[in-house]
Amino acid sequence: MQTQTKNVNQVQTLLRFTYGLVPIVAGADKFLNLLTNWEQYLSPAMKRLLPFDAHIFMMLVGVIEIIAGFIVLTRPQAGGWIVSAWLLLIALTLLSSGSYLDVAVRDIVMAIGAYSLARLSARKQLTAA
């Protein structure tokens, strides 16, 4: 039982750092565009709906991602739910645009991982109480 608990804790820690640090890095990159030009993922219809420039929108998205990453690091159960929902919204947006379907599938898979983090963290919280 102790080995199983240790393994669960290791997986939860790995997921916490993954889903905490990756959104922080991706969010910061919305300001720098070193990893990619993030605006390319916005559909033309979405760009037309924005009341401001697409770059400003992506910087707002970056701030949200950075905050979500810090929430995952400090409160992994709540953060896991937030990041899972966020990734599903991104995937649904991409699917509805018919573009970047590979990224949409990747984001769905990542959302499942974030959901798993939330569930493991809830279990860990229950066993700690």
Burial 67-96 (b: 16+ CB within 10 A, else e): ebbebbbeebbebbbbbbebbbebbebbbe
Domain boundaries defined on the chain: 2-128
pTM: 0.89
On the question of pLDDT at 92 being above 80, the answer is yes
One-letter amino acid identity for 92? Answer: L
Distances (CA, A) of 94 to 20, 43, 65, 106, 122: 23, 8, 17, 11, 30
On the question of pLDDT at 129 being above 70, the answer is no
The pLDDT of residue 7 is 87
Dist CA 11 CA 118 (whole Å): 12
Which position has the higher pLDDT, 126 or 94?
A: 94
Mean pLDDT of the chain: 93
Dist CA 52 CA 87 (whole Å): 23
Cα 41 to its chain centre, rounded Å, is 16
